[in-house]
Amino acid sequence: MMANHQSFPQNRIVIKDKQRDSTIWDLIKPRNTDIVICSCYKSGTTLTQQIVNLIVNGDDNFESLYDISTWVERIFITTPEEKMYFVESLPGPRILKSHLLFEALPYYPEWKYIYLVRDGRDVGVSYYHHLRSYLPEYLNENLPENFSDFWDNWVETKEDKFEYWSYWKHIKSWWQVRNLPNVLLVHYHNLIYDKSQEIDRISEFLNLNINTLKKEMILEKSSLEYMKLNWQKFQPVGVFQPNTFINKGVNGRWQNLLTTEQLKRYEIIISEELEPECAKWVKNAGFLPEVNSTAFD
């Protein structure tokens, strides 16, 4: 059972839209061993769920990843009560997925929070293809046919709304708590191109040791080739077109899609929305800059 710690931040915000209801988290009885994997979207969430599962459980003998690691606040398929009972039925350590701002989640010192970050240019491209892969009954009717129009709307979004949750607001929310001892920020570029090191970082963060054989297994079963071959394990049932949820898994496709003007505008926006160290890390990955102050000074 959970130690007697007050949920923090105390003045949590509530997010409710067609897909999410953040108040479902209030129905969950916290446990000391809970792990929360969060991102804005299209930043390696499913990949990280698989890596954490393999570190924690040592196998992926499941029909669906969502049988062991559910998106807690999602409501467009299940009711809050159904979600609560499902989460309560999971054995520990529970691996819980979220797409919420830090201020919308409960915070407990015993929990482990892993937040995924990806270059916004790659997120925009991946998110557009993600939205277009929905089955017709779920496809947003307002989705522009033209990627350029989608990009202009998405990159300018400063507040959360159903069509385009604010990438900028999300990054800023988690950046402010990056130095909390139970929060780990992981960059998608590092996760893809230096996965071995990132697996070590994640396992150390979770206080779980892995030997050489286990690490080789994790690398194999978290590879793009393996996850695409076994796509039915990782794609939500009845929501997307077949074999589309695990997509290209690469960066840089924006180079052939965004105009010079759009790229210049992106540079302006990222410099306006994110502090310099954050903007540099989001664009270039690598090691996080060290911080000298505590969050919420």
What's this model's pTM, rounded to 2 decimal places? 0.90
Average pLDDT estimate for 89-115: 96
Closest CA to 95 of 79, 76, 112: 112
**Per-position b or e across 173-187, b if 16+ CB within 10 A of its CB:** bbbebbebebbbbbb
Strand-pair partners of 38: 98, 115
Domains of the chain with CATH codes: 22-284 (3.40.50.300)
The Cα–Cα gap between 235 and 174 comes to 26
pLDDT digits (tens, 9 = 90+) for 195-247: 999 999 999 999 999 999 999 999 999 999 999 899 989 987 767 766 666 66
pLDDT digits (tens, 9 = 90+) for 21-57: 999 999 999 999 999 999 999 999 999 999 999 999 9
pLDDT digits (tens, 9 = 90+) for 264-274: 999 999 999 99
pLDDT at 5: 42
Going by pLDDT thresholds of 50, 70 and 90, the confidence category of residue 296 is very low
Average pLDDT, the chain: 87
More confident residue, 228 or 135: 228
